[in-house]
A and B are shown apart, each in its own frame.
Chain A
Amino acid sequence: DSGVTQTPKHLITATGQRVTLRCSPRSGDLSVYWYQQSLDQGLQFLIQYYNGEERAKGNILERFSAQQFPDLHSELNLSSLELGDSALYFCASSLGVGARETQYFGPGTRLLVL
């Protein structure tokens, strides 16, 4: 158990809908990262937050957004969902923002868009 929690574990929804994925980092970690894992693209970095502020952005679609709250939990919002958004979404956390910080991953949320 990495100490990172994610809810829900599974999510089934329809195209055009909006969902919110939630992540709680390990105790003491200030950085939260979101990744998408699909069969054809592998693990892709989406976005990073550090202590409530956006720190880095990867291949995140404009339909997706995220935030990190004062208690350091983070939410990833996915809107206008398309079939191709079906994937595993992982949250990871690390203590700080150093380039060599170990990132610990949560168990993921499996999203299925029908």
Chain B
Amino acid sequence: GESVGLHLPTLSVQEGDNSIINCAYSNSASDYFIWYKQESGKGPQFIIDIRSNMDKRQGQRVTVLLNKTVKHLSLQIAATQPGDSAVYFCAENNGQAGTALIFGKGTTLSVSS
């Protein structure tokens, strides 16, 4: 079965708000997590990753938080813009299939101006 999932299939925010997209995973052996953004008609685009020896990592306007105790991952987007509207996927690598990624089902982020 699928080991990576997201709490909410959709999230609607206003432009300028901060967005938080959540993801739960079930395999405690997972040691690498990635967030991808997929815009309509395009392939997934790498946003940010985090290793299990970290609990926070920051990028440009994005922050990923990892809570290994409860096996929870979140993506925070600061000052959300209409261009952030997309489907966001978390993915994990747990070594069970080489370096293959296991994806969650995705959260659709809609940003209104």
Contact of A99 with B by CB under 8 A = yes
Q: Once bound together, how far apart are the Cα atoms of A107 and B106, in whole Å?
A: 18
Contact of B34 with A by CB under 8 A = yes
* A23, chain B: closest CB distance, angstroms: 11
User: What residues on A are CB-neighbors of B91 within 8 Å?
Assistant: 43
**Are A90 and B43 closer than 8 Å at their CB atoms?**
yes
* Residue of A44, A97, A99 most packed against chain B (CB within 10 A): A99
**Are A103 and B101 closer than 8 Å at their CB atoms?**
yes
**Are A45 and B97 closer than 8 Å at their CB atoms?**
yes
Contact of A104 with B by CB under 8 A = yes
User: What residues on B are CB-neighbors of A18 within 8 Å?
Assistant: none
Contact of B73 with A by CB under 8 A = no
Q: Which stretch in A51-59, A66-74, A75-83 binds the other chain?
A: A51-59
**Interface digits, B27-69 against A, CB 8 Å rule (1 contact, 0 not)?**
0000110101000011111100101000000000000000000
* A16, chain B: closest CB distance, angstroms: 28
Known: A45-B100, A99-B32. 4 other contacts (CB 8 A): A56-B97, A97-B99, A105-B36, A105-B43
**Are B100 and A33 closer than 8 Å at their CB atoms?**
yes
**Interface digits, A31-62 against B, CB 8 Å rule (1 contact, 0 not)?**
10100000000111100100000011110000
Find the B residue at minimum CB distance from A108.
B43
Q: Once bound together, how far apart are the Cα atoms of A94 and B45, in whole Å?
A: 13
**Are A102 and B34 closer than 8 Å at their CB atoms?**
yes
Contact of A106 with B by CB under 8 A = yes
* B55, chain A: closest CB distance, angstroms: 17
Contact of B105 with A by CB under 8 A = yes
User: What residues on B are CB-neighbors of A103 within 8 Å?
Assistant: 34, 46, 101
**Are A57 and B103 closer than 8 Å at their CB atoms?**
no
Find the A residue at minimum CB distance from B102.
A45
* A102, chain B: closest CB distance, angstroms: 6
Evaluate whether A99 and B44 lie within 8 angstroms (CB atoms) in the complex, with A48-B98, A56-B98 already known: no
Contact of A2 with B by CB under 8 A = yes
**Are A98 and B104 closer than 8 Å at their CB atoms?**
no
Contact of A63 with B by CB under 8 A = no
Contact of B25 with A by CB under 8 A = no
